[in-house]
Amino acid sequence: MRQTVSPAGRLEGVVRLPGDKSISHRYAMIASLAEGSSRITNYSTGADCHSTLGCVRSLGIEVLEEGTTVTIHGRGLHGWRAPHNDLDAGNSGSTIRMMSGLLAGQPFTSRIFGDESLSRRPMDRVMKPLAQMGAKIEARENRFPPLVIHGGEVHPIDYTLPVASAQVKTCVLFAGLFADGETIVREPIRSRDHTEIALREFGADLRAERKVITLKGRPTLTGRELTVPSDLSSAAFFLVAGLLVPGSSLVIQNVGLNPTRSSLLDFLLSIGAPVSVLRLESVNGEPIGDVQVRHAPVRGGVIEKDLAAALIDEIPVLAVLGAASEQGLVIRDAQELRIKETDRIATVAENFQRMGIEVAVTPDGMRIPGKQKFRPASFDSFGDHRIAMAFAVASLAAGGPSTIDNAEAASVSFPEFWDILASVAR
Ligand code: S3P
């Protein structure tokens, strides 16, 4: 699909965005191993989270969907059945990496695969700890999907993550659910902690002390009612759009503001962006609030070290903001960008070039000079949802209409993106 985006006069309105992708995956997976039913409201509409539901169904668990409310009838920790078909993770790294941990503890063999992009993403980061736990996993070139997981008895481990990755942390903790004893995960940098919060909500015995997480294996998980906050990583596109387009004022409601995700707001504030949190409450252990943004020039700055890990999903759209900022933006220590749905350093740079934006690419980031003029262009998402949406935002500030090829990629996390964008553009 080719989407045309015209420059906006201003953006204005109050919007509600779909449920958080990271939290939706975790709620669905844990609910499928809980005893009794879980009712999850505001479940993500993104294709990725539906890949997770598809996998759970293939494992014999009943899943009912009514709009964005999903009811999962769990049958306890040992309630999955051997699947009759291969499990399809689609485009979703979270699905394949987190499900691998759960599949490692099953008394059957399963095969999980993904689309072309996912088939190029490394899985050795989950295969290594799972092998230490006793799992036997085969992969293409020992590294890439599809994975054949010979489930069985798994042992607890004390594992230090070599990379900051919430997906890998979750995979190890999920396998640890089936191990007899305490599984310990040590993180180099504190990554998003939705798994820890969700496991506790379902009744697991889990302690998190700074960057060390300890989980007691073989818990009884109990089905429950849950509400997913709206996705801050989706809100990021509207926050940057509001900052870029003169005269804009937007309020985004019920956004997840977990401190392991909300570095985005801290970073925006630190570069002079007028963003504010209007209301704050806690739902299922996750902080939720309304976020307001108004147009203003921003200074720009540096994203590096821990901040690069914390903002990894938002860097494409922050790069766009950086090109409009007063001093520009330097991004370092973000080599993980190269193994996302696309090589996001390369795909951002390619689209920048198409719109005449200057950028210097480095192995682990980029340097983007500020105060650049945005020219209309023909962009490509390269099949990556966050690239599609980042360059839709760039198009709003260009001097004429732009197009985005393969714009349907946005549906991976945010199918309503184009409609919501049109509804706030004046
Ligand atoms: C996610 C963790 C991050 C993030 C991804 C979602 C999660 O990946 O980029 O979009 O839900 O745990 P890594 O674990 O590879 O850093």
> pLDDT tens digits for 58-117?
999 999 999 999 999 999 999 999 999 999 999 999 999 999 999 999 999 999 999 999
How remote is the CA of residue 393 from the centroid of ligand 1, in Å? 22
User: What pLDDT does residue 363 have?
Assistant: 98
Low-confidence ranges of the chain (pLDDT < 70): none
How remote is the CA of residue 166 from the centroid of ligand 1, in Å? 6
Query: Does the CB atom of residue 320 touch ligand 1 within 6 A?
Result: no
Can 313 be counted among the known catalytic residues?
Answer: yes
User: What pLDDT does residue 339 have?
Assistant: 98
**What is the maximum alpha-carbon separation in the chain?**
62
Query: Does the CB atom of residue 94 touch ligand 1 within 6 A?
Result: yes
Query: Does the CB atom of residue 313 touch ligand 1 within 6 A?
Result: yes
Atom of ligand 1 nearest to the CA of 312: 9
Domains within the chain, CATH numbers bracketed: 3-18+230-424 (3.65.10.10), 21-215 (3.65.10.10)
Residue 410 sits at φ, ψ, to 5 deg, of -55, -30
User: What pLDDT does residue 70 have?
Assistant: 99
How remote is the CA of residue 401 from the centroid of ligand 1, in Å? 33
User: What pLDDT does residue 248 have?
Assistant: 98
Sequence letter at residue 127: M
Cis peptide before 146 (omega within 30 of 0): yes
- The pTM score is 0.98
Query: Does the CB atom of residue 284 touch ligand 1 within 6 A?
Result: no
User: What pLDDT does residue 76 have?
Assistant: 98
Residue nearest to atom 16 of ligand 1 (CA): 165
Residue nearest to atom 4 of ligand 1 (CA): 313
Tell me the pLDDT tens digit for each residue of 27-45: 999 999 999 999 999 999 9
User: What pLDDT does residue 359 have?
Assistant: 98
User: What pLDDT does residue 180 have?
Assistant: 98
| Catalytic annotation, pick one of 88, 193, 290, 313 | 313
How remote is the CA of residue 167 from the centroid of ligand 1, in Å? 5
How remote is the CA of residue 75 from the centroid of ligand 1, in Å? 28
User: What pLDDT does residue 97 have?
Assistant: 98
Query: Does the CB atom of residue 192 touch ligand 1 within 6 A?
Result: yes
Atom of ligand 1 nearest to the CA of 233: 10
